[in-house]
């Protein structure tokens, strides 16, 4: 079973592609986050987590889901069972120490007693964060290059999962090869904290009424239902504190009518199944 979250489609593509290779059941975290998050697994079924990195940290929706997640097994005595677990993350450049943070949380929540993290991987995917000056989507050429490399790497990772390495010891396959980037503790620490406190917010989002055609796409793609709208209505951000600043609303807008303050003016748009769109 693979639990995934995706904003602009990179992680969704990875989850769907991997599920086809491994014959896994896919579960969208935003679709089940409001439920009791209780799942029953078959004997020897593995568990995967796939999600993007936000500000060199684990997205809040994933952290919330892990605290709620409970797993049962279709066996009489499950007290000693630990399911093989993997985690794959996507990022436009580097992940810092986000995986370290994920592992630390997994070991402290209730579901951690049922899971044993044995394989990890980081895929570098097309850039979608556009919330700061100088940060924009990739060129079409770089986007295609990243997608091609990620596709090949994902096939190799699926082979690893089928082999299930390190099942009998404390090692984690792929740990040393994670794309942490330079000074990862600094980026996942102070910089990540700055992101969470000041940049992960819906307050700068607004709509340009001259461009908006009231199609409702932005409200439909928001993974946390933070946008009031729909067909025939201009979007209104609800300021619920749930916004992930994943920029899904911005990137999916067909007329570039959504902006994030003045930081996204004249910047491109991207989601997985289309090439970046320059304004």
Query: How far apart, in Å, are the Cα atoms of 65 and each of 4, 60, 70, 203, 226?
Result: 10, 9, 10, 24, 17
* Whole-number pLDDT of residue 4: 98
Sign of CA dihedral 200, 203, 208, 213: positive
Centroid of chain to Cα 266: 25
Q: Find the DSSP H helices in 107-224.
A: 140-163, 184-186, 192-194, 217-221
* Whole-number pLDDT of residue 275: 59
* Whole-number pLDDT of residue 261: 96
State phi, psi for 115 to the nearest 5 degrees. Answer: -125, 145
3-state secondary structure 72-100: EECCCCCCCCCEEEEEEEEECCCCCCHHH
Only one residue has tokens 């996204």, namely 264
* Whole-number pLDDT of residue 276: 60
pTM value > 0.85? yes
Strand partners, 41: 73
Is residue 127 within 8 Å of 53, Cβ to Cβ?
no
Is residue 61 within 8 Å of 7, Cβ to Cβ?
no
| pLDDT by 10-residue block (mean), the chain, 279 residues | 97 97 96 96 93 98 98 68 93 98 97 95 97 95 96 96 83 96 98 96 97 97 96 96 97 97 95 68
Strand partners, 88: 50, 121
* Whole-number pLDDT of residue 279: 44
- Euclidean distance between the first and the last CA atom of the chain, given in angstroms as a whole number: 39
∠ Cα 8 236 7 (to 5°): 10
∠ Cα 164 165 170 (to 5°): 120
Q: How far apart are CA 225 and CA 227, in angstroms?
A: 6
* Whole-number pLDDT of residue 169: 77
User: What is the CB neighbour count within 10 angstroms for residue 148?
Assistant: 10
Strand partners, 79: none
- Half-sphere exposure for 159 (CA within 13 Å, toward CB): 6
Q: How far apart are CA 7 and CA 267, in angstroms?
A: 18
Comparing CA positions, the residue from 140, 152, 146 lying closest to residue 125 is: 146
Q: Is 219 strand, coil or helix? A: helix
Is residue 37 within 8 Å of 174, Cβ to Cβ?
no
């Amino acid at each position: 079973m693979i639990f995934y979250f995706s904003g602009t489609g990179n992680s969704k593509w990875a989850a769907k592609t991997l599920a086809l290779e491994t014959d896994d059941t896919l579960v969208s975290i935003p679709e089940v986050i409001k439920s009791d998050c209780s799942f029953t697994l078959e004997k020897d079924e593995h568990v995967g987590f796939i999600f993007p990195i936000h500000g060199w940290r684990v997205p809040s929706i994933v952290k919330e889901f892990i605290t709620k997640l409970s797993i049962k097994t279709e066996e009489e005595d499950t007290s000693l069972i630990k399911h093989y677990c993997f985690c794959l993350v996507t990022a436009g450049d580097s992940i810092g120490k986000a995986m370290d943070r994920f592992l630390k949380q997994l070991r402290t929540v209730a579901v951690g007693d049922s899971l044993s993290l044995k394989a990890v991987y980081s895929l570098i995917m097309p850039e979608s964060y556009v919330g700061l000056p100088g940060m924009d989507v990739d060129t079409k050429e770089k986007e295609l290059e990243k997608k091609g490399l990620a596709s090949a790497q994902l096939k190799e990772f699926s082979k690893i999962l089928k082999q299930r390495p390190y099942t009998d010891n404390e090692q984690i396959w792929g740990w040393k090869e994670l794309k942490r980037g330079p000074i990862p503790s600094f980026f996942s620490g102070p910089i990540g904290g700055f992101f969470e406190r000041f940049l992960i917010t819906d307050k700068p989002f607004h709509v340009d009424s001259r461009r908006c055609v009231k199609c409702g796409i932005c409200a439909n793609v928001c993974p946390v239902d933070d946008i009031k709208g729909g067909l025939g209505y201009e979007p209104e951000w609800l300021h619920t504190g749930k916004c992930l600043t994943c920029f899904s609303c911005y990137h999916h807008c067909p007329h570039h009518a959504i902006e994030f303050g003045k930081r996204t003016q004249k910047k491109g748009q991207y989601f997985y199944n289309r090439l970046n769109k320059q304004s």
